[in-house]
Structure 1
Amino acid sequence: MAASSPAATATTTPPIAGTAIHRGPGAARLLSGSLSRRSPPASTAQAVSSSAAPKPRGLLLPCRAAEGAAPARAEAPLKVMISGAPASGKGTQCRMIVEKYGLVHISTGDLLRAEVSSGTDIGKKAKEYMDSGMLVPDQVVTDMVVSRLSQPDVRERGWLLDGYPRSYAQAQSLESMKIRPDIFILLEVPDDNLIDRCVGRRLDPVTGKIYHVKNFPPENEEISARLTTRSDDTFEKVKSRLETYKQNSEAVIPTYSDLLNQVLVYF
């Protein structure tokens, strides 16, 4: 995950791991792994492969075929949802999952900007609300996501839905269309850690690199002098964002409780 504290060590950091099983037609997938920078425990490594050394980071998603069972037919592409509070490391985990498993990363923020920029019907609707200073309605966002999920690259490679659905209504809209993930990943980080990470982070406007005043300080004074702070990275605003996230998360999680992989993150 981004900018982990250098003070954390493999001997004192608890393992970050979880397990969830989804059984679908013709396939069963096991999610088990570690989001820390150290290697997974020996038991996890054996579950993945008895001959290859485990990678030190990332989520491990072996299928039954890899464990010796010959499936009757090819597996359908993997479908994953991931949720995490601001500064939980979700963006970093998404990049690693996409790199390892080749899924199409779908973020509603990226989709919204693309639709507006392209001038699509959905983009025009969204822009009307944005120009009026209003939130884009759930149905407009859902239409945008469903449209992206129908594209050929997503059908072929599978998808990683980042931070969506954000509300009960959005989750139920997907349910009504029988759009469900194989795995739902929830990153859990203590509030104090999240607040410290947000309030202490700084952006280098030249390189786009993210620093932290304590955990990951800049390399020199020149870089330090040009760092900026996000306007919403204040204690009060971070607390408010966390509360909003928790309310949304609590509304969504029951829909995917049978697919939930809850990951405790320490840093």
Structure 2
Amino acid sequence: MNVPIVWVMGGPSSGKTTLAQSIVEKYGYKHVDINAIIDHEIETDTPKGKQFAEVVNNGQLVPLAEVMPLVEQELMSNKSGLRGFVIDGYPTNQADAAVLEQQVGTPDLVIALSVGQETIDTRRSSLNARTSITAQAYMKNVKPVLDQYAAKTMQIDGDRDANAVFEDVKPNMEIINKNHGPKISIGR
């Protein structure tokens, strides 16, 4: 596919989905929420969902390679008129990055939201959700990915208001949409 690809990465409750939805609303991109795909398969009790549930119930992340056929199916079903897509929450490590790049393409922009543990705990408690990973553990896993894509990565303070975060992202989104090329200016 020859459309812009944006990865939105961040630890739990960093604002990934909120930012991805803002990008979708403003630029008409397809939102690829891999966790929602996994949840849907589990909730509808499909054969894949049963496999995913077992992995999740053991406190593990479903390997991205296992989910990619479903992601590709979703992308292909929305192929006509696709203006770009934003992948929400992935990659979580270098293996995921390799899978995404091989099967979907190289990202035009990587947005890495960082939040402190206090923000994670506050946001998770407001949702009555259990914190599954600490900010420190998340950063340890994604640091090699951020290093690999440093020239395309915006590291943004996700502790701030969602509108302020989106305002930081908009200039690079405008450039990607205008040129659909790697000519972005990483200012943060």
Q: What interval of TM-score do these two structures reach, taking the shorter chain for normalisation?
A: 0.5 to 0.7
Unpaired runs of 5+ residues, structure 1, are 1-75, 204-209, 211-228
Specify the alignment match of 1:116 in structure 2: 42
Deviation digits for residues 50-79 of structure 1 (CA, Å, limit 9, x no counterpart): xxxxxxxxxxxxxxxxxxxxxxxxxx5332
Give the TM-score, by structure 2 length.
0.66
Give distance in 2, aligned partners of 1:96 and 1:163: 15
**Percent of aligned positions with the same letter in both sequences?**
30
> How many angstroms does 1:139 deviate by?
2.0
Q: 1:197 aligns with which of 119, 131, 135?
A: 119
> How many angstroms does 1:248 deviate by?
1.9
More strand by share: 1
Give distance in 2, aligned partners of 1:197 and 1:178: 32
Contact 1:125-1:140 within 8 A present in 2 as well: no
Q: 2:111 aligns with which of 154, 179, 185?
A: 185
> How many angstroms does 1:83 deviate by?
1.2
Q: 1:257 aligns with which of 150, 154, 159?
A: 150
> How many angstroms does 1:251 deviate by?
2.7
Q: 1:94 aligns with which of 8, 20, 30?
A: 20
Give distance in 1, aligned partners of 2:157 and 2:121: 21
Three-state SS of the structure 1 residue aligned to 2:35 is helix
Q: How does 1:1-267 map to 2 (within 5 A)?
A: 76-118=2-44, 120=46, 122-130=48-56, 135-153=61-79, 156-177=82-103, 179-189=105-115, 194-201=116-123, 202-203=125-126, 229-232=128-131, 241-265=134-158, 267=160
Deviation digits for residues 21-80 of structure 1 (CA, Å, limit 9, x no counterpart): xxxxxxxxxxxxxxxxxxxxxxxxxxxxxxxxxxxxxxxxxxxxxxxxxxxxxxx53321
Which letter maps to 2:118?
D
> How many angstroms does 1:81 deviate by?
0.7
Give distance in 2, aligned partners of 1:142 and 1:122: 12
More helix by share: 2
Specify the alignment match of 2:182 in structure 1: none
Specify the alignment match of 1:17 in structure 2: none
Contact 1:94-1:162 within 8 A present in 2 as well: yes
> How many angstroms does 1:119 deviate by?
5.1
Give distance in 2, aligned partners of 1:150 and 1:96: 22
Three-state SS of the structure 2 residue aligned to 1:262 is strand
Three-state SS of the structure 1 residue aligned to 2:32 is strand
> How many angstroms does 1:266 deviate by?
5.9
> How many angstroms does 1:160 deviate by?
0.8
How many aligned positions are there?
Answer: 158
Higher relative contact order (CA 8 A, sep 6+): 2
Change beyond 3 A, Cα 1:121–1:153? farther
Unpaired runs of 5+ residues, structure 2, are 161-188
> How many angstroms does 1:136 deviate by?
2.4
Deviates more, 1:148-157 or 1:255-264: 148-157
Give the TM-score, by structure 1 length.
0.49
Which letter maps to 2:134?
R
Deviation digits for residues 192-222 of structure 1 (CA, Å, limit 9, x no counterpart): xx2332334453xxxxxx6xxxxxxxxxxxx
Give distance in 1, aligned partners of 2:7 and 2:151: 13
Give distance in 1, aligned partners of 2:40 and 2:134: 25
Give distance in 2, aligned partners of 1:100 and 1:196: 30
> How many angstroms does 1:128 deviate by?
4.4
Which letter maps to 1:196?
E
